[in-house]
Amino acid sequence: MSERGLILVVEDEKPISDLLRLYLQREGFGVHAEFDGPSGLTAARTKHPSAVVLDVGLPGMDGTEVCRILREEGNWVPIVFCTARDDEVDRILGLEMGADDYVTKPFSPREVVARVKSLVRRAGLTGADDAPLTAGRLSLDTTQRRAYVAGAEVTLTATEFDLLARLMSDPGRVLSRDQLLSEVWGYASVVGTRTVDVHVAQLRAKLGEDSPIRTVRGVGYSCEVDRS
């Protein structure tokens, strides 16, 4: 039943939770459901899910708090946030949250499943045949999916890593936001290109002056990479 991995669904609205379970199971995922923040946090720690669908408004503990604690503990399981409020999106995607993706309510279960599949697929990708990508003091180990600046590891979310790796794997080439959305996120750009900008801003905040990402005004982003 769970050959594709276990998905933790933390959502206090039972009908939505049931619907997500149905759609995820139909895609071959195992599903573990929790209905409040503290139980969701415990399950994320102990069940080792492949991804978490995390509601923001939860009894006991906010979904954003659950995410913050997990990240503090060094748990970088891919997280898709569900929010009922559009004005929460920037906060969710903000640097301190470490969210990988989000959907706004009302959402279609199909949409959520597409996000989960994309995240799980990307998290499972390894580039065993790929040499590290480097730019100045920044180095990406695409096999281990780890990023280093001057030898010190920088912790990136799955999405941040994939976005950076995509840009660094095509040095000098300008990629549009739509292109990045479809190639990195793996679905059509219905969520809007703001998602790309927010993740680029997060990468820049984490990497500081070692960020190789260049904004090409009116076009998109590119990356300067050493070709050694």
Candidate segments 11-19, 39-47, 129-137, 155-163, binder of Ca ion by CB under 5 A: 11-19
Q: Which is nearer to Ca ion, 21 or 206 (CB)?
A: 21
Q: How far is the CB of 60 from Ca ion (least distance, A)?
A: 11
Q: Which is nearer to Ca ion, 60 or 186 (CB)?
A: 60
Q: Which is nearer to Ca ion, 34 or 55 (CB)?
A: 55
Q: Pick from 12, 65, 111, 170: which binds Ca ion (CB under 5 A)? A: 12
Q: Which is nearer to Ca ion, 57 or 171 (CB)?
A: 57
Q: How far is the CB of 104 from Ca ion (least distance, A)?
A: 13
Cβ proximity of 52 and 7 under 8 Å: yes
Residues 38-57 that bind Ca ion (CB under 5 A): 55, 57
Is there binding between residue 62 and Ca ion (CB under 5 A)?
no
Is there binding between residue 186 and Ca ion (CB under 5 A)?
no
How many residues bind to Ca ion according to rule CB under 5 A? Answer: 3
Is there binding between residue 60 and Ca ion (CB under 5 A)?
no
Q: Which is nearer to Ca ion, 57 or 132 (CB)?
A: 57
Q: Give the nearest residue (CB) to Ca ion.
A: 57
Q: How far is the CB of 107 from Ca ion (least distance, A)?
A: 13
Is there binding between residue 18 and Ca ion (CB under 5 A)?
no
Assigned token pair, 101: 């993706």
User: Distance between alpha carbon 113 and the CA centroid of its chain, in Å?
Assistant: 14
Cβ proximity of 12 and 55 under 8 Å: yes
- Please spell the DSSP secondary structure of the chain, one letter per residue: --TT-EEEEE-S-HHHHHHHHHHHHHTT-EEEEE-SHHHHHHHHHHS--SEEEEESS-SSS-HHHHHHHHHHTT----EEEEES-GGGHHHHHSTTT---EEEESS--HHHHHHHHHHHHHHHH---TTPPPEEETTEEEETTTTEEEETTEEE---HHHHHHHHHHHTSTT--EEHHHHIIIII-S-GGG-THHHHHHHHHHHHHHGGG--EEEETTTEEEE-----
- Bridge partners of 12, per DSSP, are none
Q: How far is the CB of 82 from Ca ion (least distance, A)?
A: 8
Candidate segments 4-12, 15-23, 69-77, 118-126, binder of Ca ion by CB under 5 A: 4-12
Q: Which residues bind Ca ion (CB under 5 A)?
A: 12, 55, 57
